[in-house]
Amino acid sequence: MPTRWKFTIEYNGSEYCGWQRQDDVPTVQNEIEKAIESFSGQSVTLHVAGRTDAGVHARAQVAHADLQEFSKPMQPFEVAKAINAYLRPQPISIILAQPVAPDFEARYHARGKHYRYRIINRYPFLALDKGYAWQVRKPLDTEAMRMAATHLIGHHDFSTFRDAECQAASPEKTLDSIEITELDYDGVGGKEFHFDVRGRSFLHHMVRNIVGSISLVGEGKWTPEDLKAALDARDRTKGGPTAPAEGLYLMKVYYDE
């Protein structure tokens, strides 16, 4: 009887066309499934908590797969180590492998997700964080952005922040929190902003569209009330730009223990 394994995965999304397996292009799912087959001789399908787009990164993505008994007993850390041996030198790492109950579902048992979006707010180009954050050159008003974000907390119709190709059955979602943290970036005036967004589930491009819209408030182009009006319009054309994929990180997927 196969064992169901839960994998916690870190990856740099810059080199991949998203999570989902595709023909003729590199994806995170493709590479991990190939590594598992190389290690175990078994062809498996990974089922993920939530697919990420091209360029999006993950600190702790979660997926599960069923594996038959190995030729010799292996501890969970040995399973992760073996898969990682076949993933190197790609920027994908299995940071935890765990045997779980046979009915565990990475997607359907998830109780929430935490995404972080990084903005680097300075004028000089980025030498170190290019590809890992969105650079915004105009100064951003932290308190105005925080005030705007309060309008999005709770249960709403998020059609304004929904991608046109989103396949979710309903545009209604619940945001538990949006925290905006301002940090010193380079010691000479540059700032880094973290937008930490938590909720049960999200629409396609929802976090990136929210950050793009809040950035308009930060630049003074919108007021916090303009963001609320955009939300109430339930119309994507009334929202702000879609923030680039490279600034988005899936930080954690929450499960009942």
**E-strand spans in the chain?**
3-11, 47-48, 57-67, 92-100, 110-121, 134-136, 154-157, 172-184, 191-199, 248-255
For helices 206-218 and 224-233, the axis angle rounded to 10 degrees is 150
3 state DSSP class of 40: helix
- Does residue 69 contact residue 38 with C-beta atoms inside 8 Å? no
Q: Long-range pairs for 76-85 at CB < 8 Å and ≥24 separation?
A: 79/5, 80/7, 82/39, 82/40, 83/7, 83/32, 83/35, 83/36, 83/39, 84/35, 85/39
Look up 23 and say whether it is catalytic: no
DSSP 77-119: HHHHHHHHHHHTTSSEEEEEEEEE-TT--TTTTEEEEEEEEEE
Q: How far apart (Å, rounded) are the C-alpha atoms in residues 130 and 128?
A: 6
Catalytic residue among 53, 163, 196, 226: 53
Catalytic residues: 53
